[in-house]
Amino acid sequence: MNEFLIVIHRDLKSEDASPSPEQMQQAIKPFQDWVGGIAAQNKLANPPKRWDLDGRVVKQNNVVTNGPYAEIKESVGGLFIIKAADYDEAVEIAKGCPIIKWGATVEVRMATPAV
């Protein structure tokens, strides 16, 4: 069993972003069902948190700007950690994210042992 990071990227800034705020609202229950299903399989490493849309970005020379990190239209929306046997299994789980159909992208990364 390995730990995998599930990162949901989506446009947090544009006015005509997809998923739209209405679509995000509709996605609340499907999202809960998705994560609940992962938890039912005892594969959720810890409860997901919700992250604000405020954000700061810190660069070198002490430059600090407002806003979530979004060089392009794909900021970090949500993220959580699951347990899965391998990338294939983790990807299957990731495919259950209910807002992929509206343009969100899910990144999957495997944990390596901390040094």
Q: Which residues bind another protein (CB under 8 A)?
A: 3, 5, 7, 9, 29, 32-33, 35-37, 39-42, 44, 46-52, 54-60, 62, 64, 68-69, 71-72, 74, 76, 79, 81, 87, 90-91, 94-95, 97, 100-101, 103, 105-115
CB 6 within 8 A of CB 96: no
**Distances from the Cα of 63 to the Cαs of 53, 59, 74, in angstroms?**
20, 5, 21
H/E stretch holding 64 reads strand 63-66
User: Cβ 95 to another protein, closest distance in Å?
Assistant: 6
Residue 46 Cβ vs another protein, minimum distance, rounded to whole Å: 7
Closest distance between another protein and the C-beta of residue 15, in Å?
20
Nearer residue to another protein within complex by CB, 3 or 20: 3
Q: Token pair 């979004």 is at which residue?
A: 70
13 vs 111, which CB is nearer to another protein? 111
Degrees to nearest 5, angle at CA 40 with 39 and 41? 90
Using the minimum distance from each CB to another protein, give the nearer residue, 22 or 42: 42
- Written as six digits, the tokens of 41 are 């399989």
User: 55: phi > 0 → left, psi -120 to 50 → alpha, else beta; which?
Assistant: left
Residue 20 CB, nearest approach to another protein (Å): 16
